[in-house]
Amino acid sequence: MKERSHLYAEMNKERSKIMAKSKLPTAEDIRIGDRIVVTIKRLGINGEGVGYYRKKAVFIPGALPDEVVKAKVTRIEPSYIHAALVDVEKTSPDRQKPPCPVYEQCGGCQLQHLAYPAQLRAKEDIVREAFRRYTGLDDLPLKPILGMDDPWGYRNKAQLQVGVREGRVVTGLYSPGSHKLVDISGCPIQHPGVNETIDAARAVVEELRIPIYREKQREGCLRTIVARVGRASGEVQLTFITATRELPHRAELISRIRKRLPKVTTIAQNINSADTPLIFGEKTIILWGKERLDESLGQVQFSLSPRAFFQLNPEQTVKLYNAVRDAAALTGEELVVDAYCGTGTIGLWLAPQAREVRGVEIIPEATLDARRNAALSGADNARFYVGQAERLLPEWVRQGVRPDVIVVDPPRTGCDRKLLQAVIQARPQRLVYVSCNPSTLAKDCKVLLDGGFRLASVQPVDMFPHTSHVECCSLLIRNEK
């Protein structure tokens, strides 16, 4: 034992000498501001490079897999380190120059500096890593990610803050971690019609000198401009969000917008006077035109109010919903429960192949939209209920109504634990889990696997190219006992 202790002591001395010569800190004595050299192994859930320094995970925004980078430590936690990229000593062959001139300031995208095929590979790895970490599954039934042929100009809606810089009205997003407004005119991931609408609306606002809301002083009028383009209809819906009910130069604003933007079919005003990060307030007034924007996905018809949620990338939404339909494997005899149905999109997509669809949504307005969309689409076998699925589902089971297929599409935080238990107790043959967060998906799948399901497949879909987000459609099948 003494010989072994002596050997360890000598090894530690030698390690200290090497560290001193390299002028790099050890994990034990590292401080904020220190410079470290890290080899990047993969991308993290937020698109940052992930490597290891003395067995401690290091997260470095802007770094790419297979790169060797020099970074400055910005935050230290017991099990990980945050650092800022200083220099790339070995560059990935997949690194590229971002086409957006304000990419690094905006923060809306995280991966424009990575070639698109490499983005898709990285997103598959993000899903694998999440399941490995939270379920212990090394042999994940992962299907190849569904990407876009043209991953630009796909976002059909923009919600841009309005501000004033050097006497000019600007529209954009706040830079991450600050209150600096970044002008994103001509954003390459927005639909061209959205960019055109926002730019013209901004120009008219400036011409008419409509007072811009100043958050610190809580003075002024215009807070946000929202534009949505109907991919199928070609219609444009334009909404001005104001802090006051009065909208100065209202008549002239409408007249000039209609003249410059003939595709606009709705001009609306939403009033949000609260001190809140929420974009929309409760009151919406149609200033001119149609109350709703017509849109469709496949054979499903939608009628969208200015506040209504709708998927931001319709092309990829069709691929995602087709993956849901394939996973559900409906024959026309099944009862399908859509537990987070929203405005009914997934349930209505499945309705033609199902005996009955029951959608559950906690927000009454969304449920009304779902019923309206069902009527527009002729889906008379789809019914939508206001309430919590974790309460309604057990009630239906007690009444002898047991679903054959359950679909969940929860928020980023994942499913409520009570809902997971309700699903386990309902014992559907198939559970289709749609998720925009691989980490919470994997955590919830662990509960379901322990509750008697097996994971049959995971289908990633790239809903938002050039960002770190990755959507998944997972199929879980009940184990027969």
- Provide the 3-class DSSP secondary structure of residue 21: helix
Here the tokens at position 21 are 């010569």
E-only strand ranges, 132-244 = 157-165, 168-174, 181-183, 222-229, 236-242
8 Å CB contact between 407 and 336: yes
Q: What share of the chain is helix, strand, coil (3-state, %, to 5)?
A: 30, 30, 40
- Provide the 3-class DSSP secondary structure of residue 352: helix
8 Å CB contact between 261 and 236: yes
Bridge-based pairing of strands 283-289 and 264-271 is antiparallel
8 Å CB contact between 387 and 362: yes
Of the candidates 194, 173, 190, the residue with the CA atom closest to the CA atom of residue 182: 173
8 Å CB contact between 466 and 189: yes
Q: Is the dihedral of CA 360, 361, 364, 367 positive or negative?
A: negative
d(CA 14, CA 6): 12
Q: Environment class of residue 16 by beta-carbon count within 10 Å: exposed (0-12), middle (13-18) or buried (19+)?
A: exposed
- Which residues fall within 8 angstroms of residue 295, CB to CB, at 6 or more apart? 230, 231, 232, 233, 301, 302, 303, 304, 310, 314
**Angle (CA) 12 15 16, round 5°:** 90
d(CA 398, CA 393): 9
Of the candidates 173, 273, 170, the residue with the CA atom closest to the CA atom of residue 218: 273
Asked if 341 is an active-site residue, the reply is no
- Provide the 3-class DSSP secondary structure of residue 347: helix
pLDDT in tens, the chain (481 residues): 333 344 334 434 443 443 444 455 555 678 999 999 999 999 999 999 999 998 899 999 999 999 999 999 999 999 999 999 999 999 999 999 999 999 999 989 999 999 999 999 999 999 999 999 999 998 999 999 999 999 999 999 999 999 999 899 999 999 988 888 999 999 999 999 999 999 999 999 999 999 999 988 889 999 999 999 998 889 999 999 999 999 999 999 999 999 999 999 999 999 999 988 889 999 999 999 999 999 999 889 999 999 988 899 999 999 999 999 999 999 999 999 999 999 999 999 999 999 999 999 999 989 999 999 999 999 999 999 999 999 999 999 999 999 999 999 999 999 999 999 999 999 999 999 999 999 999 999 999 999 999 999 999 999 999 999 999 999 999 997 6
E-only strand ranges, 77-154 = 80-90
User: Which domains, and CATH codes, for the chain?
Assistant: 2-95 (2.40.50.140), 121-149+313-478 (3.40.50.150), 157-295 (2.40.50.1070)
Here the tokens at position 40 are 């990047």
How many Cα atoms occupy the beta-carbon half-sphere of 44 within 13 Å?
A: 17
d(CA 386, CA 370): 11
10 Å Cβ neighbour count for 277? 5
Residues in the chain: 481
8 Å CB contact between 253 and 268: no
d(CA 329, CA 404): 11
8 Å CB contact between 59 and 82: yes
| Catalytic residue (choose from 106, 221, 415, 436) | 436
Here the tokens at position 478 are 């009940």
